Structure 1
Amino acid sequence: MGSENRQYLEKYFPIASFIAAIMGPKCEVVVHDISDPEHSIVHIENGHISGRQVGDASTDLVLKILKTEAYHEEQYIANYRASGKMGQSFRSSTYFIKTDQGKLVGLLCLNIDITHMEVAAEWIQHILQGGPTPYIAPATLDQAPKEEKQATEYLQGNADDLLQHMVSSVTNRLTIPPERLSSQEKIEIVRELNDLGVFLLKGGVSQVANALSISEPTVYRYLQKLK
């Protein structure tokens, strides 16, 4: 963590502890340093909820925020859906930590485990013979296209897990093997992964090359075409 980032982020460590003390053991509070996406977690309270710890990586949503620069016009995004690697459901919110000049240096994230609440809500709805379980509406990013306005997040530990999840979320939609895709189709997949922020992480090029059955130089060439 750079000295300038530390100056701002350390102010939020006691705030994170304060929030966790109020909200209780089902609320995870995380401070991210955006200067190191592969090891962005610099402070965490109740990390047992997601299994994460200091030194772990960013999330897919953090990378998307950095890539789309969704923080310029907003100070936070609130009440969106997140999922954990152990199958949990979360109601999450993210506050953008900025310098006095408006430069983004970090994020303060709250993840409330609502897994058991959803089970209880479903049971209550069944007893009352009402409609489907009410859906917790996620926050929106104004910069996103209309069809992508619902923010979601996947909470995991290390950067390799994050990369695998992000690449798989795109390639799993393929209806034919990657080696049968045309060059233009592969370029479009690289474009989508680039928009998600996959290439902000070390190893992103290698993961994508393996997933698409192409060489790393080819991935770099496709990225050049996107500029």
Structure 2
Amino acid sequence: MENENRRFLEKYFPVASFIAAIIGPKCEVVVHDISDPEHSIIFIENGYISGRKVGDASTDLVLKILKSEAYHEEQFIANYKASGKFGQSFRSSTYFIKNDSNELVGLLCLNIDVTHMEVAAEWVQHILQGGPNPYITPPADEAPKEEKQATEYLQGNADDLLQHMILSVVGKITIPPDRLSPQEKIEIVRELNELGVFLLKGGVSQVAVALSISEPTVYRYLQKLK
């Protein structure tokens, strides 16, 4: 079955090259095989943009998609924000690759580096608007609305991905992990589980270290969440 899925995904390699050739050298195009999250990248064009290569891991968003099974409702997600380990900003989109049985087997991802575009756009906007007027207060209903959409962090190996995802949750805590109550730790494990952290092989051990608990305790917390 794995070989069959691999052959199915290989049909998308020329499509990825085609897209990258059209959009240009600032567009990275990736094909993921979801059967192996630690080494899901099986094809990549313009990988120098994010520093990733074939054999590298999934992203935090890919794991979240797999955990939430959002692909049942949608065929793709488009134009969300992503960031790179070199500080870049990306406009990204992901297409859900499904086999003839409508089962998700892979992802086709586009990551367009818009870092310089954002700087240029900010400069143009400043020139056109001339800066804020201190004597004019904009109406409350004209205040910019926060855009709620998917975000993604583009990194290389699975260890980097795990550290980033765990820090995104544990880093919000203002007290040392060893002073957290069991219920507070369960809530953290629940949040990490929803992000897909435990889809990666090293997830349990790294979470155990981050929360100052044993691996069996992490498994016990996960059982309580079912």
* Pairwise same-fold verdict (TM > 0.5): yes
Identity of aligned residues (%): 85
Q: Output the CA distance in 1 between the equivalents of 2:45 and 2:7.
A: 20
Q: Output the CA distance in 1 between the equivalents of 2:130 and 2:70.
A: 38
Paired residue type of 2:183: Q
Please give the per-residue CA displacement for 1:178-198, whole angstroms capped at 9, x wherever unaligned: 111100000000000000000
The structure-2 alpha-carbon separation of the partners of 1:30 and 1:130, relative to structure 1 and needing over 3 Å to count, comes to farther
Task: Kindly name which structure, 1 or 2, has the bigger radius of gyration based on alpha carbons.
Answer: 2
**Which residue of 2 is the match for residue 77 of structure 1?**
77
Aligned residues between the structures: 214
Is 1:112 aligned to 2:112, yes or no? yes
**Which residue of 1 is the match for residue 96 of structure 2?**
96
- SS class of match (1:17): helix
Please give the per-residue CA displacement for 1:142-195, whole angstroms capped at 9, x wherever unaligned: xxxxxxx52000000000000000000001100111111100000000000000
Paired residue type of 2:204: V
Counting only pairs closer than 5 Å after superposition, residues 38-187 of structure 1 correspond to structure 2 as 38-129=38-129, 150-187=149-186
Q: Output the CA distance in 2 between the equivalents of 1:3 and 1:159.
A: 23
- Which residues of structure 1 form unaligned runs of 5+? 139-148
Report the RMSD for the aligned CA atoms in angstroms.
Answer: 1.6
- SS class of match (1:71): helix
Runs of 4+ in 1 over 2 A off after TM superposition: 129-132
Q: Output the CA distance in 2 between the equivalents of 1:92 and 1:131.
A: 30
- SS class of match (1:157): coil
Bigger drift between 67-76 and 2-11 goes to 2-11
Paired residue type of 1:219: V
Q: 1:131 offset after TM fit, Å?
A: 7.2
Q: 1:7 offset after TM fit, Å?
A: 2.2
Q: Output the CA distance in 1 between the equivalents of 2:218 and 2:11.
A: 40
**Which residue of 2 is the match for residue 30 of structure 1?**
30
- Which residues of structure 2 form unaligned runs of 5+? 133-143
